[in-house]
Structure 1
Amino acid sequence: MYQCYEALPFPAAGYGVERNWPANLKLELFCGPRHTQVKHMAFSGPLRIQRPFYPEGKPCHLYLLHPPGGLVSGDRLYIAVKAEPHSQSLLTTPSAGKVYRQDSAGVAQGQRVTLRLDQHAELEWLPQETIIYRGANAGLDLHIELAPQARFIGWELVCLGRPAGEHWFDAGSLSQRLQLWRDGRLLLNERLQLNAGDEAHLGRAGLNGHCVFGTLVAAGPGLDDELITRLRQALPDGFAVTERLGVLLVRFLGNDMTVCRAGMWQAWELIRPVVLRRPACFPRIWFT
């Protein structure tokens, strides 16, 4: 499998190396005799997992915890997950992620996630949304590597500013990348480089002035025209569904995270039984 990739840049700035507070979490998941278990965990800095939950039997539900609750300048989160053959896991977060205003030196902050799935592994990456505050200098990087028979469902949901409080994203930047590889072949490669008020932010070829956007990615069997039709009929305005090279994409663009979240949950409910052959089982933390 493809092992190396060019990560999003986190440039040195301001106070130099002293302005760098990394947190690392590495997980290895394996298929035990009764359910999927955490085989290995290594961490440094304020990044942990809660004990595994098993609300649906064999699949393991894991909650990723970042006690500070948000990223300030110099913060870098590195999350790496390896799913061994036949393991079944769902990873989520207990609350929205937050990227706060950069410091006076403009030092970047952000997160890199690497997910590697072995043969017949199943993994769901379903974090709650990320809020990019006015003035942030944010980098978000999601890198997915799939073996030929691995199955994956995941999403990234982003809100620029806090529109409910009329705190608009009128300053700051976001660099976001999403890559998906299958058996060493790059199937999806997207990059967003946005500065508040630029063409990518306000232009019709970009976000067209909207502040909420999200992408659900699914890779596995059953991604056929019937499923796509069902998704298009079920989802409200603001959503679009496409499929190419065996990768299904559900996208949202709008101004209301509640609508985005509800639609993504609805799409997941339709996709999961097809790709993973079991009904949706909502993590309890989403409702607390």
Structure 2
Amino acid sequence: MVVTQVTDKIYKGWQASLALQFCHIAEKTLLRSARHIGPLTVQRPFYPEGDTCHLYLLHPPGGIVGGDELDITVTLDDKSHVLLTMPGASKFYRSAGATARLNQHFHLAPDATLEWLPQDAIFFPGAQARVQTVFHLSTGSRLLAWDLQCLGRPVIGESFSRGQLDNRLEVWKDDLPLLIERLHLADGDLSPVANQPWIGTLLFYPATEMLLEGVREKLAALGAFAGATLTDGLLTVRFLSDDNLICQRVMRDIWRFMRPHLLQKPPVLPRIWQT
């Protein structure tokens, strides 16, 4: 795919939205509705575990450029259980000035379970990106989520030497904040992330001190730039790294460890990860 750099700073790119709603019946979780505008859609649901709905989000253009605005809204009704992932990485390409925006909102009804396990997001040098991810939890709902961001293209020696990234992450429980984090990077200054190209975050709710200690043991491979905290039942894991393979291995190991404890289900890898 050939990407042409946009020179008009007021360029309006793809205006895309995707709204998903899930419900639970006696046998399994169903995708009740999927409404989309523009190049955002989903594949048909898979049921490798019988009752849990595995669903893959698709963005056919393959990348996000300045001026694009993507809105994703996911609503889980009572007792539904959904695992969402993507076939490949999200790519934010360079921009001459226009900002690319990605807004993701997840609403979990009581006793609903969401596993949000996207592939990594790559921010090319010169990208202008604003990303917001918000989880709204309810009584009895459970969350297993991760986010892995790559600054530049370290595999070929390109750093995030220019451009801007504004990232906002929020977790709310019954309209009260459990976590609100902001990250701002600009003008090639990566000192806020210790000049590391990979930024990882994992979220688990509800968690305990025992699970916190178990997760900390699995962070050893990431060295000094990794830690985990437990606040009001939300277990938050944060790390920085210069090795993508270690990041992915540790993230999957932690998810495999947490899933049986939070969901009383063994880990079942989405089959798209194995292709």
Q: What TM bracket, shorter-length normalisation?
A: over 0.9
How many Å separate the matches in 1 of 2:196 and 2:22? Answer: 38
CA distance 1:69–1:183, change in 2 (3 Å) = same
Q: Which residue of 2 aligns with 1:240?
A: 227
State which of 259, 262, 270 in structure 1 corresponds to 2:249: 262
- Tell me the CA shift for residue 187 of structure 1: 0.8
1:40 equivalent in structure 2: 33
- Counterpart CA distance in 2 for 1:268 and 1:70 is 27
* Contact 1:37 1:60 survives alignment (8 Å): yes
| Contact map agreement 2:172 2:178 (CA 8 A) in 1 | yes
**What's the CA shift string for 1:127-154, capped at 9, x where partnerless?**
0000000000011110110111111111
1: CA distance, partners of 2:110 / 2:214: 29
CA–CA distance in 2 between the matches of 1:184 and 1:90?
A: 23
Counterparts of residues 119-158 of structure 1 (less than 5 Å): 119-158=110-149
SS in 2 for 1:19: coil
Tell me the SS of whatever aligns to 1:229.
helix
Give the drift of 1:234.
2.4
AA aligned to 1:207 is: V
Mapping of 1:34-73 within 5 angstroms? 34-73=27-66
Paired position in structure 2 for 1:218: 204
Query: Which AA in structure 2 matches 1:19?
Result: K
**Unaligned 5+ runs, structure 1:** 1-12
> d(CA) in 2 for partners of 1:131 and 1:74?
17
Q: Percent identity?
A: 39
8 Å CA contact 1:240–1:250 kept in 2: the answer is yes
- Give the 5 Å matches for 1:103-182: 104=96, 106-182=97-173
TM-score, normalization by structure 2: 0.94
Are the aligned partners of 2:143 and 2:205 in contact in 1 as well (CA < 8 Å)?
yes
Task: Map Cα deviations across residues 174-233 of structure 1 (whole Å, 9 max, x no partner).
Answer: 0000000000101100001111433xx22xxx211111011001112xx22221222222
Cα distance, 1:58 vs structure 2: 0.5
Q: Answer yes or no: is the 8 Å Cα contact 2:13–2:65 preserved in 1.
A: no
State the TM-score, normalizing by the size of structure 1. 0.89
Task: State the secondary structure of the residue aligned to 1:171.
Answer: coil
CA distance in 2, matches of 1:90, 1:42: 18
The CA RMSD over aligned residues, in Å, is 1.3
Instruction: Quote how far apart the aligned CAs of 1:155 are.
Output: 1.0
Q: Deviations over 1:221-254 (max 9, x none)?
A: xx22221222222222243111111110111101
Paired residues for 1:81-120 under 5 Å: 81-102=74-95, 104=96, 106-120=97-111
In the alignment, which residue of structure 1 is the partner of 2:3?
none
CA distance in 1, matches of 2:136, 2:59: 24
Return the offset for 1:15: 5.1
Deviations 1:145-168 (A, max 9, x none): 011111111111100011011111
Q: How far off is 1:40 after superposition?
A: 1.0
The residue number in structure 2 matching 1:227 is: 211
Q: Distance in 2 between matches of 1:286 and 1:190?
A: 29
Say if 1:86 and 1:121, in contact at 8 Å, map to a contact too: yes
Q: Deviations over 1:238-281 (max 9, x none)?
A: 43111111110111101112111111101101111111111111
Native 8 Å contact 2:208 2:233 kept in 1: no
Find the residue that maps to 1:261 and give its secondary structure.
Answer: helix
Distance 1:181 1:32 in 2: 26
- Looking at structure 2, the residues matched to 242 and 196 of structure 1 have their Cα atoms a distance apart, in angstroms, of 30
Matched positions, count: 266
SS of residue paired to 1:282? coil
CA deviation vs aligned residue, 1:29-63 (integer Å, no higher than 9, x gap): 00022110011110010000000000111000000
1:45-99 Cα offsets, whole Å, 9 max, x none, are: 0000000000111000000000011101111110000000000100000001100
| Cα distance in 2 between the residues matched to 1:147 and 1:182 | 6
